[in-house]
Every structure is written in structure tokens, then in C-alpha cells.
Chain A
Amino acid sequence: MIRVVLPAHLRTLARVGGEVQLTVADPVTVATVLDALEECYPMLRGTIRDHGAGRRRAFIRFYACEQDFSNDPPDTALPGPVVSGTEPFLVVGAMAGG
């Protein structure tokens, strides 16, 4: 199972209390994890990446295993510990605003 940690506002929107666990077929990439996330929680569509083009929203970041995947191509493979469920994939709201 892939573990995903969402920012508080998106947990509230998706009505989940903690981590989300997803089944993701190989290859496990940023794009396939987000596809699975939006399939399970359709209310999150458009909140992490744009409708249509699928671009990451400007103030969203993707981290895993102390690495920043935010600006990597969406088909970038995620590290083994994320695939095995040892480490979570983090969706983070960037530090901004007031």
C-alpha cells in the first residue's frame, strides 16, 4: 500500500483523519499516485494539480524520503521505501500567505 500524507485542508475536504493508503499498480510515480488519490477521493481533483493539463499547483510540493519531487517529471519513479509503504509520499502546502 502507498501511504500519502495530505495537508490539513485537504484532509478535511476528503474527510480523512490521517494518512491515506492507496493501492497503486506499477510503476509507482508521482502521476500514478495522484491518479489513484483522485480516483478514491474525487473531491481532491483540481486541488493538487490543475484540471486538464494536470500541472502541479504553484503552492503545492511533493516530498518523499527527504527528497523534493515537485519539479521532477510526473512519470518519475518514487523511491523503494514509498513503494513498499515504509515511507509516506507527502503532499505539502508551501509556506506562503497569511
Chain B
Amino acid sequence: MAKVRVLVGTRKGAFILTSDGKREKWEVSGPHFGGWEIYHMNGSPADPARLYVSQSTGWFGQIIQRSDDGGATWAPMGNEFAYDGHSGDHVWFDGTPRPWEFKRVWHLEPSYTDPDTVYAGIEDAALFRSTDGAKSWQEMPGLRTGTAADTWGPGAGGLCLHTIRVDPRDNGRVYAAISAAGVFRSDDHGQTWRPANRGLRSAQLPDEDVEVGHCVHRIAFHPSRPDVLYMQKHWHVMRSDDGAGSWHKISGNLPTDFGFVIDVHAHEPETVFVVPIKSDSEHYPPDGRLAVYRSRTGGGEWEALTNGLPQQDCYVNVLRDAMCVDSLDECGVYFGTTGGQVYASADAGGSWAPIVRDLPAVLSVEVQTLP
């Protein structure tokens, strides 16, 4: 029987949750790297035993860990993220120029085909790549040199590159999303980039539909149809049908279209999941009722999925890297909360149960579907 391995990053360590294909009984392993912030832990599609972890603290900085045996053992890898050449300046909160400075790795995106190739999205926003299994890292400087990056400024969470999506058709297309700059697209394997934010509007900006400056929280696509992208923006849930050439709003009947996560059903490219959050200043579910919303129409029409989720006095948040789906026949959906719960649904959101309830605040959730 197939198995699933859920990789959970928290404020105080990493946890690995495993189950068989029924996803009813779970084994919990951890904390790994206890006391460290684990912004992201992700597995290689090409070799599921290969895991990469971003581990950091304010005291000791950034560590990258690698496992070659599915998380049984770990080894620290290269942790030097040196910007390519003169790093230049970006815009600080007060409008003054501020030198680019490495702070942490937000997201690790392993290659579909090569276990040793992995992308890293970092703060201050830049894209790095390793081709030697994370022993060394090189910036892909075209993202900053060709996109007026000196005009980028941080959101409240920092100037972070938090989402990397590689087109599985191996056509050289890569997407990166940055808060608060927006989406950028490369068609040459990350050598050159251009902004891809047409159609986004942000009332927080003086020019609401400016090309760069939007606070994109997350983008997702279905691997079989990577030209259709979904986005959870600071406010607004958006969709593109032309590879981020343009975007249109699909918030529809959502109770609020603020939120952080968005993901797509493993077998139904028009089925999308979000977790509405009350507002940009109240990061918890509306009315204290936690709900995943699902659209089976590619957006616009949404249904609340609440079976098994707390429906009173729930004031947790779900952060941008903290939702994922498995690829079993009955698609599993997972998300983690800042209250330390990791919820799983083995029926595409129809019902939910907590795998764990009392972890540190969850920063990221990934799942591997294993034979």
C-alpha cells in the first residue's frame, strides 16, 4: 500500500508525520533540529529519500540540512548565500535605499529530475540554485538585475522570495513570487526574468495596478496544466490562464479573500483550495470558525469545508507554505496552523482530522506520496 510522509516545519523544529494510504493512523517523528526555526522542508520528486531543510535562528543564522534516507539521518550542507557581484540596494520602509543583505532561506524547491539540483528562495529576495546537493549555492542574478529590483520593498514579513514553481514540461519556464514585489517569470531556466503581474490591483499602493509592488502570498498550478495559475494575494484570489501573462479575480463568494495559502487538487486541475483569513490586520478565521474553501470550477464559486475543523473560538493563522496535497487516488489535503495543529483530509477536504494538535507554530507543510 502507498504511504504518505508529511514534512512539517515549525518555529521550534521539524516534524515528520507518516501514515499508510488510509491516512488514519500516524507516526510522529521529531522534533528534528529542536529549537531552530524550520521555514521549509521539502523532498526531491526525483528521489523521495532526499530531503532538504532550511534551519535558522536569530542567534546562529542559516543552516541547510540534507537527508538521503527519508529523514532518518541528516548532514549540514553549504550555508553561504553570497549575492552575485555588487548586490546593490532595495527600498527600505522609510523610502531610503538599503543594501541587499542575506537573512534566511524561506523556500526550497527541488528539481523534478535531479536530486542534486534544488532552488532556494531567500530574504532579502533572490533566487539561488545548487547543483551539487546543497553543498554550494549560486545566485541566479537575472532575477534582480533585469527587473528594477532597486525599486522593490519589503512587506511586513520581510523582502522574501517565498514561492518557486518550475514548469514540469522542462521548457525553461520558472515562476518566482516575492513579497512585496509580485510574480516574476523566466522562460530560459532562470537566466532572465520579467514581471508577470498584469491584472493585479492592490488598494494599498498609490498606483493600484502598478507593474511591481504587489504582495503576492502564494501561487500554485496543477502539473498537467502549468499555464493555469492560481494566486492568493494579500487581498484577492486570482487566476491566470496564460502563464501569468494576465490575472483575473476569482474571489467570488468567499467570505473574505484575504489569506496566505492556495493549492490545487492532485487530479482535478479546476479544484482549488484556500483558507480565508479575516483581514490584513486580523490574521485569523472569520468569526473564529476555521474553514477550508474549495472551488470545483477553477474559482468564483466556493464551498466551505468545515467537517472536523473547529467552529468556535479558533483564532489561528495558516501561513503561506503550510498547505499541500498528496497524489493518492483519493486526494489528501493537509495544512498547518500557527496554533500547532496539522490537519489532514483523506477525501479532498470533505472531512478533516488533526494529525497533531500541539506542535509549535507551523510554518510549512509538504507531503510526499511514497510507493
Binding site for B on A (CB under 8 A): 7, 9-10, 13, 43, 45-48, 50-52, 57-60, 93-94, 96-97
Contacts and interface: CB of A to CB of B under 8 A. Distances in A.
A57 B76 contact: no
Contacts of B63: 13, 43, 47
B80 A93 contact: no
B35 A51 contact: no
- Chain B, interface size category, equals 10 to 19
Given A9-B35, A9-B36, A60 B59 contact: yes
Contacts of B36: 9
Given A9-B35, A9-B36, A45 B79 contact: yes
Contact of B76 (A13, A48, A50, A93): A13
A59 B60 CA distance: 8
10 contacts: A9-B59, A13-B60, A46-B62, A46-B80, A47-B60, A48-B60, A51-B80, A57-B60, A96-B58, A96-B59
Given A13-B76, A43-B76, A93 B82 contact: no
A51 B82 contact: yes
Contact of A9 (B57, B62, B76, B82): B57
Contacts of A97: 57-59
A60 B82 CA distance: 21
Contacts of A51: 79-80, 82
Interface in B194-212: none
B158 interface: no
Contacts of A93: 59-60
A57 B59 contact: yes
A34 B35 CA distance: 24
Contacts of A50: 61
Interface in B231-251: none
A13 B57 CA distance: 13
A48 B61 CA distance: 8
Nearest to B35: A9
A96 B76 CA distance: 25
A57 B61 contact: yes
Interface in B47-81: 57-63, 76, 79-80
Give the top 9 A-B pairs by smallest Cβ distance, nearest first: A43-B76, A47-B60, A59-B59, A51-B80, A93-B59, A46-B79, A46-B61, A47-B61, A59-B58
B58 A10 contact: no
Contacts of B61: 46-47, 50, 57
A94 B59 contact: yes
A50 to B, nearest CB: 8
A97 B57 CA distance: 10
A84 B328 CA distance: 63
A63 to B, nearest CB: 15
A97 B82 CA distance: 27
Contacts of A57: 59-61
A45 B58 contact: no
Most buried by A among B60, B63, B79, B80: B60
Contacts of A10: 60
B80 A45 contact: yes
Contacts of A52: 80, 82
Nearest to A97: B58
B361 to A, nearest CB: 11
Contacts of A94: 59
Interface string B3-36: 0000000000000000000000000000000011
Contacts of B57: 9, 97
Contacts of B59: 7, 9, 57, 59-60, 93-94, 96-97
Contacts of B82: 51-52
A94 to B, nearest CB: 7
A90 to B, nearest CB: 14
A9 to B, nearest CB: 6
Contacts of B60: 7, 9-10, 13, 47-48, 57, 60, 93
A43 B61 CA distance: 12
A51 to B, nearest CB: 4
Nearest to A58: B58
A79 to B, nearest CB: 25
Contacts of A7: 59-60
A57 B102 CA distance: 13
